[in-house]
Chains A and B, each alone.
Chain A
Amino acid sequence: MNTSLLPLFVAVPLVAAGALIVPKGPLWVRRALLLAPSAAALLAATWLLWLTRDGAVFAHNVGLWQDGIAIPFVVDVFSALMLWTTSLLALVCSVFAIATGDDRQPFFATLVLVLTAGVSGALLTGDIFNMFVFIEVMLLPSYGLLAMLGVLGRLRGGRIYVTVNLLTSTIFLAGVALVYAAAGTVHLGELAGSAKENPTVAVGMGVVILALSIKAAVVPVHGWLTRTYPAASPAVTALFSGLHTKVAIYAIYRLYALVFDGDAKFLWIGVVAFTLTMLIGVMGAVGENTTRSILVFHMISQIGYILLGVALFTEFGLMAGIFYLIHHMIVKASLFLSTGAIEHTYGTGALDRLGGIAKREPLLALVFMGAALSLAGLPPFSGFVAKLTLVMAAVEDAQWTAVAVMIAVSLITLMSMLKIWGGVFWGQEPPPDDRGAPAKAGENGSVTTGTRTQPKIRTALLVPGLILTATTLGIGLGAQVLLDLSAQAAAGLLDTSGYVEAVLGR
């Protein structure tokens, strides 16, 4: 493979973003420019998955500078898997944003493209300082997206989001400085295994991992997420949930495997923190009464599941964690998109102001039900395989508390999915006065039933969620493909020599 193509994952969205700043293009050209880079990245990531499926690692030094000076781009099967999923989500969420009309906002497309460029860069980079830079590239447009698509109350959410993320980035940077002071390099190839040998490097990397845990919203540093995500527009929440915290999770996996070399003496911290994350996340959801805030709390609980894989640090555990990560990104986005479609059409996500949707929108109800069952971990969806492998991995490692918590949390997850189901999809339709003013009812293809004008959810709003639910069903039925890829990725994390050789160019 010609590895000099790797930086295109970052360059193409950036160029498209630049082109979109030019005002007054026809709308279809702007929409094509928004969708094309993500679609191209999806195809390219599929190709990369094919190339790396047997554990091959490709690396490229940007500008062909020599190793250690250049900006390295590395791809192995783990990053290819992440690239594939993030591109899919970026594409689907952009389609949803076009359907809701979010993309008519000035600079919406530009910001989304810069965001995807930052995500791809953070996934591909082989150097922790560049990881900081790419995470910032990813965060800067999201500040804009959060504030732009909001009213005053949302602006307050935006303040928390920016403040927390800037502080976290500063902590990350301090960690990078400490690592540089202790090891004299920030290059992942040269840092490999150094935190296990040198406790000073371990302190610096510990600060970096702490910063990443805040970004991933691990309990007890999760409070910012539940305050800010429900404040964004539905399309943006889906996009953020799929990309932001997951990049931090990817980085935790990568850095712990590579720099700490899976050092067993810190793993107990992870097991404790991530088990608490599962439990507290799901408990938080009990007290919420809008669809999106329930889903956001569930996201935190699921982050605990995903990260438990790295806290076990066995081959089976890592495989389960990676499988869970991919499954979760798809399912969560699907849930946000289907509830977002309701919120957009009916003007509210509050449980007590909605009802009877299952009768009015049977297909949407099906899409939501599929994703909700997958989230709770019922067969035949991917959630079942994900939870089963993770529980088995924890049993293998004799983490009985974690096993018990995982099973209990699954049940509570199912219960609160049923709460959304009962509140939104079943029951009586509330009289129209009770409902918030339907958002742009005329535009949404309203149909007249009886004497009232009732909005119906348009097909364009349905399709994105449908695609993702179909994907989770597909992964559930054909789990072996993703399990094999996850196993390969886990093997690459356990034995990092291939990655190190590729990134050092030796």
Chain B
Amino acid sequence: MTLAITIGIMVAGGVYLMLQRGMVRIVFGLILVGHAVNLLIMSAGGVGRRDLPLLQFGTALTAGDPLPQAFVLTAIVIAFSIAIYMLTLAASGSDDDTEDAS
């Protein structure tokens, strides 16, 4: 439940930021939504009903699912690189960030 609420709040915040005008806020919004989706993938592995994904602390039957973690790792790298690129775009080029800043 905690996970579901966290994901919900992050998506709400992300969508709010994305609907702003400035590029930097849009980037932050996308980062928030990206992390929310990462949490969603983690929750897809059934974190609530499983233990640590380490075999010395349990058996293969109860250990956490390692696959979502691999997914998240890949997704983080991709989202990170694009976020950097978008921040570069925000910093270069014409200055449309300040338009309608209020």
Which A residues contact B (CB, under 8 angstroms)? 129, 133, 136, 140, 143-144, 147, 152, 155-156, 158-159, 162-163, 166-167, 169-170, 173-174, 176-178, 180-181
Contacts and interface: CB of A to CB of B under 8 A. Distances in A.
B85 A143 contact: yes
Contacts, number: 75
A140 B37 contact: no
B41 interface: yes
Given A155-B94, A156-B96, A170-B33, A177 B40 contact: yes
A169 B86 CA distance: 15
A40 to B, nearest CB: 28
A190 to B, nearest CB: 13
Contact of B30 (A129, A144, A170, A181): A170
A155 B88 CA distance: 11
Given A158-B89, A167-B30, 19 more contacts: A133-B78, A140-B81, A140-B85, A143-B85, A144-B85, A152-B93, A155-B89, A156-B93, A156-B94, A159-B86, A159-B89, A162-B89, A167-B33, A170-B34, A173-B41, A174-B37, A177-B37, A177-B40, A180-B44
A330 to B, nearest CB: 31
Interface string B24-49: 00100010011001001101111000
B93 A181 contact: no
Contact of A181 (B23, B37, B43, B90): B43
14 contacts: A140-B78, A140-B85, A144-B85, A155-B93, A156-B93, A166-B30, A166-B34, A166-B86, A167-B18, A167-B33, A174-B37, A177-B44, A178-B40, A180-B41
Given A156-B93, A167-B18, A176-B71, A162 B85 contact: yes
B13 interface: no
B37 A170 contact: yes
Contacts of A140: 78, 81-82, 85
B3 to A, nearest CB: 12
Contacts of A166: 30, 34, 79, 82, 86
B59 interface: no
A252 to B, nearest CB: 21
A180 B70 CA distance: 13
A170 B86 CA distance: 15
B100 to A, nearest CB: 15
B53 interface: no
B21 to A, nearest CB: 12
Contacts of A180: 41, 44-45, 67-68, 71
A123 to B, nearest CB: 19
Contacts of A147: 89
- Say whether chain A's binding surface is mostly helix, strand, loop, or mixed: helix
B68 A162 contact: no
Contacts of B85: 140, 143-144, 162
Contacts of B89: 147, 155, 158-159, 162
B20 to A, nearest CB: 12
Interface string B68-100: 100100110011011001100110111010000
Contacts of A163: 18, 26, 30, 86
Nearest to A136: B78
Contacts of B86: 159, 162-163, 166
Contacts of A155: 89, 92-94
A464 to B, nearest CB: 29
Given A133-B78, A147-B89, A176 B94 contact: no
Nearest to B7: A174
A205 to B, nearest CB: 14
Nearest to A158: B89
A472 B21 CA distance: 44
Contacts of B43: 177, 181
Contacts of B44: 177-178, 180-181
Contacts of B96: 156
Contacts of A169: 78
Q: Across chains A and B, which 9 residue pairs bring their CB atoms closest together, nearest first?
A: A181-B44, A155-B93, A177-B41, A177-B44, A180-B44, A177-B40, A174-B37, A136-B78, A173-B37
A432 to B, nearest CB: 30
A143 B87 CA distance: 13
Given A156-B94, A181-B44, A129 B71 contact: yes
A133 B81 CA distance: 13
A178 B45 CA distance: 10
B37 to A, nearest CB: 5
A156 B93 CA distance: 8
Nearest to A151: B93
Contacts of A167: 18, 30, 33
B41 A176 contact: yes
Contacts of A159: 23, 86, 89-90, 93
Contacts of B37: 170, 173-174, 177
A162 B81 CA distance: 12
Nearest to A143: B85
Nearest to B83: A166
A117 to B, nearest CB: 15
Nearest to A181: B44
B96 to A, nearest CB: 7
A159 to B, nearest CB: 5
A169 B34 CA distance: 9
Contacts of B78: 133, 136, 140, 169
